[in-house]
Every structure is written in C-alpha cells, then in structure tokens.
Amino acid sequence: MIEVRAVRKWIQHLDRRVEILRGIELTIPEGQFVAIVGASGSGKSTLLGLLAGLDSPSEGEILLDGTAIHALDEAALACIRGRKLGFVFQSYQLIPTLTALENVLLPFELNCGGDGLAHARSLLAQVGLEQRMDHYPVQLSGGEQQRVALARAFVVNPPIVMADEPTGNLDSTNGQRVLELLLSRNREAGTTLVLVTHDPQVAALAHRRITLRDGLIVEDVLLAQPGQAAQERL
C-alpha cells in the first residue's frame, strides 16, 4: 500500500544543509497498523507528511497504492489525497468559517457523489460530538477540534488513514474513544493506519512499531499480524 525508496529530506539555507531524513526505506502492506515513534526532532512528522504527499522528498521515491506521488503535480496529488487518504493533523487544520458538521462534510462534497450528510453526522456522534455539530471551531476546545478532524478524515472511507498524535490533546476517556474508532476502522474495513505517537500504550497496540532517530529508522519491529485484535494485546 505504501512504499518508500531511499527517501531523504533536507532544508538548504545558503551554504548550509539541514538533514531531516537521511535515507528511509520502508514498505507498509495493505491493512497494517503502523506506529511511528521517536524523540522530538527525529523526523516523525516530516516522514508522515511525505507519505501523505503533503511535502516532497529532496531525493528518493514514494509510492501510494502503486502511484508514484513524488512525481505528481499538486492537482494530481490533491485528487489522490481526496480519494485514498484521510489525514489527521496535529494542528487540526479546520476551516474557521465552517461548522463542525460542515468541516467533516467538505471532503465528501469535494470527492464523492451523493449525499454524505447522514454519514458525517454519524461520524461526529461516534466521536462524542453529537451536541456540537453546529458549533464553529473557535467555539470548540482543542480536544473537540481534534475529534472533528478525525471524523473528517474518515468521511470518504479512505483506504489509508494517517494521524499525527491523534490522542495527544485528549483526556483519557476521549482518547480511548478516538483510539477505538481508529482501531475499528483498521480491523473491520482493513484500513491501512499510520500514526505518529509519543504514547507507548498507543504504539503497543500497533501491528508494527517503527522508531526514528536523527532521520533514520533505528528499529522496525513486528508486534502482531493484521487481523489480530488490538484488545488482545492490551
């Protein structure tokens, strides 16, 4: 489902090059739940952004469901992201002039046919926001905004979901609810799930844990096979 070939990412400033990723080789099969972990500054979020086509590698290739996304222009990338990928940003990226419901519904209206309203309402109810659908982002707490972003990521039923610290700003109850929703998508729909997390309990539920350090993969451990219930490893 995801293939990374000799990917490097650097920032050039005058005569100084800052290396962020220093040669990543990685294959993620369909239906696998992968947790990417590592200290701050290790390159986790940069790698996730590259996998999602939100940024381009300085060198190397990235294939998403067989498509070489590193070679696409922005219009083609937007099409791929809209149909194949749900992304939960650490900073939420909600549109301030749209309500929670409208934010969730927007990707469906841009990429799918038919009426997605009932589906969007159902997703917001699943993340505990059935009473907040008509509120604007400024009227929501950070944790509520993060749950809206999660519902938005699911609305087109994408085969791949990526999330940057999806439980990081949530209390334990809502964090567990969000995690259960992510796991159910992976288990029941076979959604390929890639999370960046600092939480060892979240990482322990993954099928596979990849550890980055200084822009390199220093550990790649298979914890379980796709299809094995995460709850069995709690």
Residue holding tokens 């998403």?
A: 64
Q: Which two tokens stand for residue 148?
A: 């809206």
In 3D, which of 86, 94, 3 has the Cα closest to residue 51?
3
Closest to 23 in 3D by CA, of 215, 161, 177: 215
Helix (H, G, I), strand (E, B), or coil: what is residue 48? helix
% of the chain with per-residue pLDDT over 90: 64
* Residue 114 confidence class, pLDDT cut points 50, 70, 90: confident
Total structural domains in the chain? 1
Phi, psi for 126 (deg, rounded to 5): -65, -30
CATH code of 227's domain: 3.40.50.300
Average pLDDT of the segment spanning 25-31: 96
Is the pLDDT reported for residue 207 higher than 60?
Answer: yes
Average pLDDT over residues 77-92: 87
Residue-level pLDDT at 178:
82
pLDDT of 229 reads: 56
The gap between the terminal CA atoms of the chain, to the nearest Å, is: 27
Whether pLDDT at 177 is above 60: yes
Higher pLDDT residue, 172 or 206? 206
- To the question of pTM greater than 0.85 for the whole model, the response is yes
- The domain of 69 spans 2-233
Residue with tokens 């969007």: 120
Nearest 5°: phi and psi at 63? -115, 130
Q: From CA 75, how far away is CA 115, in angstroms rounded?
A: 24
Q: Which residues contact 132 (CB under 8 A, 6 or more apart)?
A: 100, 124, 139, 140, 144
Q: Residue 190 CA to chain centroid, in angstroms?
A: 15
